[in-house]
């Protein structure tokens, strides 16, 4: 079974360099590391394999904060980050760090000037996401990176929604740390990596302690099949990037055009600044949980809502963008990917249109 998963004599441990089987596995891991590095535009030793973006983000934020606390105790992030970042910042706040959370503008983009204004003499790190997971809004990374470099502050980017799908080019853009997960690009779950730029100023404290794997930053036996899967997925998605982007952009446009001709539709996040892989919208008068329930058998839709103490809390991302009322409580997210076809889009639009009709009849 294992041999089918990774195509190697996979029972061996990559850390066991005194026998051939161990050396073969180690070679495969290093090949995968080089592939990931080539696709991201960095060098192999700058890639640390982790269990996914959540762990990478924690390693980046907690790692930098705890290793450099004597130089400063201030971090900057945004109000629309994934919980992995926000909860990690909360934990650092509880441990005596100060965190500035920048609000986005109404279009979901963070103004780089707001980040520049938040930088203090004790700021250690800025953490921003590249593409938002709820709205698809793309943040102005180049401008933010230029500010961080100019002001001598480290920059971490959560690229869970963008790595592979968008060209990032770490050799051209001064990002210090970058997190990603394989399962966002059809790779296996439970594997991701953290890019850590090789520069003398960048010190990180590990989250866990043990062996010397992953340059001492992430101890534990390496999951060969997961790592090989991550590299294969990243290579594949990068190879087809332009073609996939065009196809997915067409599919999303078809969806918007067809659905808006049948029901009234509000889009959250202007299409020209959002990833074509994500669409966030609301239908006036229809709440997200009702629409999601009505379509659940046929379409996987999500709302950024969270259920706490029996009440539905709407998306903090959309709330931070200033949405309220129907738009806030009706917002749903759909995703598009390389495996969808125009026929899938027709079916999805039919399913939503029928659901809206049923809901309107019920409340009439
Ligand atoms: C933007 C973003 N960041 C971080 C994560 C966390 O990734 P994972 O659950 O793979 O650790 C996700 C997952 O949904 C995400 O969309």
**Each residue's pLDDT tens digit, 237-296:** 999 999 999 999 999 999 999 999 999 999 998 899 999 999 999 999 999 999 999 999
Q: Ligand 1, closest atom to CA 81?
A: 1
- Using a 6 Å cutoff on CB, does residue 333 contact ligand 1? no
Domain-wise residue ranges, the chain = 20-239, 241-363
- Using a 6 Å cutoff on CB, does residue 133 contact ligand 1? yes
Q: Which of 42, 88, 89, 307 is catalytic?
A: 307
Predicted confidence at residue 200, as pLDDT, reads 83
- Percentage of the chain exceeding pLDDT 70: 96
From 84, 134, 188, give the residue whose CB has the most ligand 1 atoms within 8 Å, as the site to mutate: 84
Ligand 1 centroid to Cα of residue 21, in Å, is 34
Three-class secondary structure assignment of the chain: CHHHHHCCCCCCCCCCCCCHHHHHHHHHHHHHHHHHHHHHCCCHHHEEEECCHHHHHHHHHHHHHHHCCCCCCEEEEECCCCHHHHHHHHHHHHCCCEEEEECCCCCCCCCHHHHHHHCCCCEEEEEEECECCCCCEECCHHHHHHHHHHHCCEEEEECCCCECCECCCCCCCCCCEEEEEHHHHCCCCCCEEEEECCCCCCCCCCCCCCCCCHHHCCCCCCCHHHHHHHHHHHHHHHHCHHHHHHHHHHHHHHHHHHHHHHCCCEECCCHHHECCCEEEEECCCCCHHHHHHHHCCCCCCECCCEEECCEEECCHHHHHCCCCHHHHHHCEEEECCCCCCHHHHHHHHHHHHHHHHHHHHHHC
Ligand 1 centroid to Cα of residue 181, in Å, is 7
- Using a 6 Å cutoff on CB, does residue 52 contact ligand 1? yes
Q: Ligand 1, closest atom to CA 184?
A: 10
Predicted confidence at residue 308, as pLDDT, reads 63
For domain 241-363, which CATH number applies: 3.40.50.1980, 3.40.50.10070, 3.90.1150.10, 3.30.1330.40?
3.90.1150.10
Predicted confidence at residue 2, as pLDDT, reads 47
Query: Residue 20 — pLDDT band, cuts 50, 70, 90?
Result: confident
Nearest CA to ligand 1 atom 7: 53
Predicted confidence at residue 12, as pLDDT, reads 78
Establish whether 307 is a catalytic residue.
Answer: yes
From 59, 130, 139, 161, give the residue whose CB has the most ligand 1 atoms within 8 Å, as the site to mutate: 161
For domain 20-239, which CATH number applies: 2.60.40.1220, 3.40.640.10, 2.60.120.460, 2.60.120.680?
3.40.640.10
Predicted confidence at residue 10, as pLDDT, reads 62
**Each residue's pLDDT tens digit, 204-250:** 999 999 999 999 999 999 999 999 999 999 999 999 999 999 999 99
Nearest CA to ligand 1 atom 12: 160
Ligand 1 centroid to Cα of residue 360, in Å, is 35
């Amino acid at each position: 079974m294992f041999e089918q998963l990774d195509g190697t004599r996979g029972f061996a441990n990559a850390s066991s360099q005194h026998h051939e089987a161990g050396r073969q596995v180690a070679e495969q891991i290093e090949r995968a590391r080089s592939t990931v590095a080539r696709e991201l535009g960095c060098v192999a030793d700058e890639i640390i394999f982790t269990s996914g973006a959540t762990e990478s983000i924690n390693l980046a934020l907690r790692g930098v904060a705890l290793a450099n606390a004597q130089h400063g105790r201030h971090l900057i992030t945004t109000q629309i980050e994934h919980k992995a970042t926000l909860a990690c910042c909360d934990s650092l706040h509880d441990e005596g760090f100060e965190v500035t959370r920048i609000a986005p503008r109404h279009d979901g983009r963070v103004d780089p000037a707001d980040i520049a204004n938040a930088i203090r003499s004790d700021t250690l790190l800025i953490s921003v996401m590249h593409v938002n997971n709820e709205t698809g809004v793309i943040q102005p990374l180049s401008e933010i990176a230029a500010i961080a470099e100019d002001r001598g502050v480290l920059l971490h980017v959560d690229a869970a929604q963008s790595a592979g799908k968008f060209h990032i080019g770490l050799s051209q853009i001064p990002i210090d740390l970058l997190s990603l997960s394989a399962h966002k690009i059809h790779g296996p779950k439970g594997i991701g990596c953290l890019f850590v730029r090789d520069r003398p100023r960048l010190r990180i404290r590990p989250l866990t302690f043990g062996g010397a794997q992953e340059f001492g930053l992430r101890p534990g036996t390496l999951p060969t099949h997961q790592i090989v899967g991550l590299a294969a997925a990243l290579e594949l998605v990068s190879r087809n990037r332009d073609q996939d982007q065009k196809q997915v952009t067409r599919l999303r446009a078809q969806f918007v055009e067809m659905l808006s001709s049948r029901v009234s539709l509000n889009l959250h996040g202007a299409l020209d600044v959002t990833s074509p892989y994500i669409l966030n919208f609301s239908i006036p008068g229809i709440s997200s949980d009702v629409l999601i329930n009505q379509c659940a058998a046929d379409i996987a839709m999500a709302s950024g809502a969270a259920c706490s103490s029996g009440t539905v809390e709407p998306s903090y991302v959309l709330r931070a963008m200033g949405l309220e009322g129907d738009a806030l409580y009706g917002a749903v997210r759909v995703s598009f990917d390389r495996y969808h076809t125009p026929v899938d889009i027709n079916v999805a639009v039919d399913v939503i249109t029928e659901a809206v009709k049923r809901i309107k009849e019920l409340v009439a």
